[in-house]
Amino acid sequence: MAKKKTKVIVAMSGGVDSSVATLLMKKKGYEVIGVFLKCWSDSKNSYGECTWREERRFAQRIANKLKIPLVTVDAEKEYRKFVIEEMFKDYRRGITPNPDVLCNEVVKFPFLLREAKKFDADYIVTGHFVEVGKRFGKWNLYRGKDEMKDQSYFLYRLKEKDLRKMIFPIGRYTKKQVREIARKNGFLNHEKKSTVGICFIGKTNMKDFLKSKIRPKIGDIIDVEGNILGKHDGVAYYTIGQRLGPRYDLSIKKSGGAKMPRWYVAKKDVRKNILVVAPAGHEILYRKDIVVKEFHLINGGVAGFKKKISRKPVRVHARIRHVGELVPSKISFSGGKIKLSLGRKLDGVSNGQAVVLYKGRKVLGGGVISE
């Protein structure tokens, strides 16, 4: 009797990364089932057609070429409720969330794991630029080979029990190598642009997107001394570190004939509806110490880790944005709070964003930036 093939579910988005991930699994002899997640139907292409339909056609062409089935799963209701509605709530509170992290945690991977169970599949596969490996009996998540495409920042909330059932086949390749594999295999999407913007929504004008749910509210723009410089149209539309000026839909008064300085958002006061701004290089724009909320470790053991870092801070590398600089830092626990001290002050550190911790290439986990 022939040995039964190992079955995998592959998330196929229509992009080159997931297409090559599918190809690699097929070449290795796995039984492959493609899954296309439909999460957003409001975005339209230049022909007025829902973007997800265009993306699914790309995925279907690859599936047909590889002679595998493609299943479409509708996750839009959950995506809107648990990702987009939560994102709007955070912006109303004056913080800047990371919807891609939340999407992976509460929609994408839960749905893929559900489909794997439905089809009795052994693993789920995605086209993320990360790697999984087992060391000392534990499954770990590692940064991808291509540092400019590494996506571990968005996956820090995965759990070890989930990693046991995951394969990320393109993590050991560079983006250039992935495109070349696609080209050599005749994939029509080998030069297709990578997705940017919000997960499943794509590139969008964030301010216009927020205005669809958050009404404008005119307020003052002030400097650090309290001088009124101009007006904004809604605190929720702006984020810490964002540059302001006429080009950015904000009217800041010029003082006499002086050259206009570059102003950046330093603080947001939602209650008073005020934006505090500062010129480039001002110390108020930089932060070194961060409180980390909603702390998560991929390998678990948060209580034990807190106890450990309460006795002595642990050295780690921290990243406050996708493919941002890996900053040498120290993490400690005192006063009931997990605190991260960055090796140097950084600008653009915004409450609500993710901070991800690393030990070498290994992803330890992370949390949400707070005061």
8 Å CB contact between 265 and 248: no
Cα separation, 302 vs 36, in Å, equals: 34
Cα separation, 265 vs 239, in Å, equals: 7
Q: How far is CA 23 from the centre of its chain?
A: 25
| Residues acting as catalytic residues | 103, 199
Mind giving me the DSSP string for 46-100? TTS-BHHHHHHHHHHHHHHHHT--EEEEE-HHHHIIIIIHHHHHHHHTT----HH
Closest listed residue to residue 364, CA positions, set 334, 337, 336, 329: 329
Cα separation, 269 vs 28, in Å, equals: 55
Mind giving me the DSSP string for 192-218? PPPP-SBTTTBS--HHHHHHTTS----
Closest listed residue to residue 26, CA positions, set 80, 63, 74, 76: 63
Residue 307, number of CB atoms within 10 A of its CB: 11
- What lies within 8 Å, CB to CB, of 316 at 6+ separation is 329, 330, 331, 357, 358, 359, 364
Locate 37 and state its tokens.
């997640």
Tell me the HSE value of 280 on the side-chain side, using a 13 A CA sphere.
Answer: 6
